[in-house]
Chain A
Amino acid sequence: MRKNLLLNGDKFYKANLNSKTSLSSGKLTAKQLKDAYKAKGYSIIAFCDEKPSLYSELSENDFLILTAYRTKIENYNFILYSKNENSIDLVEYNSDISKSKEENINEFIKKASEKGFLVCLEHPCKSMLSYSEIKNIEGLFGIEIANYSSFKEGYLEDNNHIYDRLLRRTIQFPLPIASDGNKNQADFESADNDSFGAYTYINSKDLSYLSVIKALQNGDYYISTGPIFKEIYAENGKLHIKCSPVRSIRMLNEGRDAPVAIAKKGELITEAVFDIDPAFCGRIIRVDIRDENGNFADTVPYLIKEL
């Protein structure tokens, strides 16, 4: 039986899930950012300043502002997405000296989740967070696999390796996120501009706040720094992938080796079919595609037993 893993008859909405405004380290106002991203084909943006504000008045029928804010705890940076469009009740961090740093942070995430936030770990590479400092953090909704602003600053913010190590260890794994984290200190035309480079395609039935939050929670999306997924489905023990022209298509899993299709020199490929063998793959598979410029797109992890 065929199981579609992307695009269940609904639409993809292009989202930047981490944008800084002039209220914090960003140069542009929320309105300027909304206009710029809308003009580039985006439908969703989250303004993630340390001093949060509600921007629901900027939302339109074809553009949604996600209510969010950013906070720094020790060397961890978190983006908190509110499930309630009109509420952004800040979550207090209590440092209990009788507990470890990880325990205190876990308390914070638990409290944030109870208050209706999805908590995402921001740019772990730039924050110098290793796998060993993330592995005991519990309750995360997401982890930024790509952050375009970090890329531009010179950090190697492709966190797929750390993410795979987390997947091998945890049952309740966080989902991958890609976002700009843009501050726009350089103009849009500048080589150092940090907008429009890392995004999330959200597969939602409509652009209502609740539908988009639900899609995020369900993992109905994929992340990208360039290439596009067109179709992914599982059928009769095989995974079928169709995408924009890329250099490689990989079916990453819990193991060391991943079934891969690579284009011949000077050519590109747009589809691949791989066997899904649980004995080889373990519990989880996910798909990574890379184009001729090194830009990549990744799906969320899929549990093989559910395919």
Chain B
Amino acid sequence: MPTTLHDVVVIGGGIVGTAILRELSQYKLDLCLVEKQPDVCEGTSKANSGIVHTGFDAPPGSIEAECLRRAQRLWPELVAALKIPFLSCGAVMVACSDEEKAIIHDVYIPNAAANGVDVRWIGKEELLERNPAVTSAAIGGLLIEGESIVDPFWATRSFAELAVLNGADVRLGNGVASIGTGSQEEGLAIVLEDGQVIRTRYAVNAAGLWSDEIGRMIGDDSFWITPRKGQFLLTEEPIAVSTIILPVPTKVTKGILLTPVVFGGFMLGPTAEDQDDKWDRSTTGEGMRQIAAGVDKLLPGVSACASIRQFAGVRAVCSAGDYVIRASTADSRVIHAAGIRSTGVSASPGIAEMVAERLEQAGLPLRRKAEARSELPELFDDEAQDAGEIVCLCRSITRGEVERVKRSSLPCSTIDGVKRRTGATLGECQGNYCIPQLLDVLGERGTASSHEPLRPLKGLRQSYFASVGKEEEERT
């Protein structure tokens, strides 16, 4: 069967894959993205601190530092064009001893200078003025004013939505089973789990934790990925801080941070636990104790705050010790965007720019598309009359806000997808009261919309929490 030959297929719908798709959608290219899960942002991208790092502590001369440096330049424009919630709150690395102060002066200030990031030492008075909740045992800290906070899902979804508006094809819920490396004319054959074959001249491997497995599909074992878990705890109690609070890292760990959340509240974590299972996203009593102990060192008593949710994310640790952004050693038509450790959200726009350059070096001509959009339309064109009644009580989310999901250029088929697009289910009840109403509102087959009714699917593939009894009985 003849199929179209795409210019580029991006494998992986996390923040890295979608950032690359957005970047490439500015050029005259036939693009496709494949994602195994039913929605974008279902892996490492969804469970992290949301910090947009400046790269002040990145190893100078690394690909990671270069991507972070580029991203620092690109983020402000992206945030404005795509209406991404963004908080320029800054960060303070708090020192509680002369020894820690010495580490800041000997290691971090020179490192930041090497990476071109502005930092300055602040005394105890300024530190406590900015962050009254910090321990009085602090003697000062390193202020990194450029550190910011973003909503990782919003960013990921916006990247994908813009690319779709520019003509890219996003295929959700279908993973890559194998990759055939045929001739130059036939292109690469990306075989999906359901048997579909997508032909493409180039492919980008942005499969996150699974990027080593994608590499092996074409006989490339030049790097491998091991999973590292980070547990987090979310609280919405008021805490008197205005910046991200970082401890001085030890040789073993970067430590437990406190990070403001764009939509309110604070995230405490992460732990850093190497494990074997890429799918183990469980929290543990020990992890919660580590977070409590870590946070109380810098912010006494904060561990006693009530938590409305705890979760764990798994990040990629790469054998290369740095990002792997280059053509595959096995087939130069496959460009890796792999080994993206915990700085993926921060670096994603820079990674995208670098991947575009690698594609060009591999022989793909990049010609600007004059009609390409770079902006998303304003989402909150609130017309009070079509807002309707409250659907999510904890967060005061209206029927109108939920119905808006149907108008997105990126289809939404899961409860978690609705959550990340509207804020519903994020409150105290964790969705136990509004999920039936979300199913009611989005279950009505919209005549003006091509969207399928919302299914009782939580987030991941096969994460059904209910089935439609009658239909199932009739079928079996």
**Are A and B co-members of a single complex?**
no
